[in-house]
Amino acid sequence: MVDPAARRRGVDLDALGTIIRIEFVEGERQENIDRLSEIWSAAIVKADNPETTLTVGTDAKYSSQCDVFNSDFEVLASAVSTKVTLRGIELARGKHLMLHAAGVALSDGRVIAFVAPSGGGKTTLASHLGKQFGYVSDETVLIDRDLRVFPYRKPLSVIEDPEKKWRKTQVSPDELNLLALPRTPLRLAAIVLFERDADHGDSPELGNVALPEAIEDLSGQISYFGDLPDSACMLADVVHKTGGVRTLRYSEADSVASVLDQIIAEQHPDTDWSDVSSTVTEHRADDTYTRRDGVVAVNTAGSIVTMSDGTVRVLSGLAPVIWDVIADGARLEEIERALVEEFGAPEGMDAREVTQQAVDTLMAEGLISFNSSTFVQIEPAL
């Protein structure tokens, strides 16, 4: 813990709805204090009670007292950006959707989240679009259940030397002339999965993603997605309310602004869904199959999308019928009968055997359980 007497000066930052205080240790050069404050100028707020504090410095004499230390200021600035991001994400864990996305806000507060993995071009896209629309973030767009967006106006991490991609310079949004946010509440209006393709051509190309695939694709770009108690259902609801997930391919970031109106206006025709998650059943009949406790599941577009043990699966074919019939528990013969009614008897195959194989697959994936009437006694090892 840092000795209060060693603290010099601090700034409070709004990071994903959390107030994080950056404090500098005694002896820190004023130019470093001023420069780090300038870098974070777009995220600085006035707060009496920050939720957490990070102590930083470049003086080796105080390194043991620092949460972030490096004698090289540029390296320190990058480390601070990473640490603030991780701390903000950790404190929002299990509460909100946190898309790995660049975000921009229209003048009326509608926000478009452009989702891509690390290295996918979020910072470049944000630095271009942010000159025409309000800069929300180049890293993470946090959304609550009412579609409210919490901005994270962090400095942008810019690679200035292509031969040293590991060394990034932190640049303030103000220094890049990115626009301020509109003076109105921010609300998510669209989600876009984007890909930069240098060979694509001059005109950006838009497409749609069906809801099952959208949940599967987005889940890998959401921090701590599995920690949300209703993960897949919450995501399905957000996608439905925003009119479906779009895809975007382009070659140059400065061409993307031309399709923003189209992104906002067009809606995907089929984003309806229902919650078919497993429920805890106190009494389960013997020799029945049931949904395993704790599996979050969404029924949409003829598929079941499940989330369990940190893994998203899209179930199709026989699986959706099985998932439906075992909601309150069902024996194998009941499952077989439901499958034959839905699909007809399998040609040249035994219906019972096909049913058993399908059930066994779902059990192997940890999605369903079997309630056996047979008591098996395990002999102790000698």
Three-state DSSP string of the chain: CCCHHHEEEEEEEEECCEEEEEEEECCCCHHHHHHHHHHCHHHEECCCCCCEEEEEECCHHHHHHCCEECCCHHHHHHHHHHHHHHHHHHHCCCCCEEEEEEEEECCCCEEEEEECCCCCCHHHHHHHHCCCCEEEECCEEEECCCCEEECCCCCEEEECCCCCCCCEEEECCCCCCCECCCCCCCEEEEEEEEEECCCCCCCCEEEEECHHHHHHHHHCCECCHHHCCCHHHHHHHHHHHCCCEEEEEECCHHHHHHHHHHHHHCCCCCCCCEECCCCCCCCCCCCEEEECCCCEEEEECCEEEEEECCEEEEECCCHHHHHHHCCCCECHHHHHHHHHHHHCCCCCCCHHHHHHHHHHHHHHCCCEEEECCCCCCCCCCC
pLDDT range class, residue 267, cuts 50, 70, 90: confident
Rounded to two decimals, what is the model's pTM?
A: 0.90
Across all residues in the chain, what is the average pLDDT? Answer: 91
pLDDT at 64: 92
Cβ pair 47, 12 in contact under 8 A: yes
Cα dist. 82→20, 37, 86, 264 in Å?
13, 16, 6, 31
pLDDT at 281: 66
Cα dist. 257→29, 125, 179, 186, 263 in Å?
41, 10, 14, 19, 10
pLDDT at 26: 84
pLDDT at 337 over 80: yes
- Identify residue 56 by its one-letter amino acid code: V
> How crowded is residue 27: how many other Cβ atoms within 10 Å of its Cβ?
12
Cα dist. 264→93, 112, 191, 244, 248 in Å?
28, 8, 9, 10, 13
pLDDT at 133: 98
Cα dist. 370→119, 169, 332, 343, 366 in Å?
44, 56, 10, 24, 11
Instruction: Decide which of 38 and 380 is more confident.
Output: 38
pLDDT at 166: 63
pLDDT tens profile 157-192:
887 666 666 678 999 999 999 999 999 999 999 999
pLDDT at 376 over 50: no
Cα dist. 163→72, 76, 82, 156, 359 in Å?
19, 20, 21, 19, 53
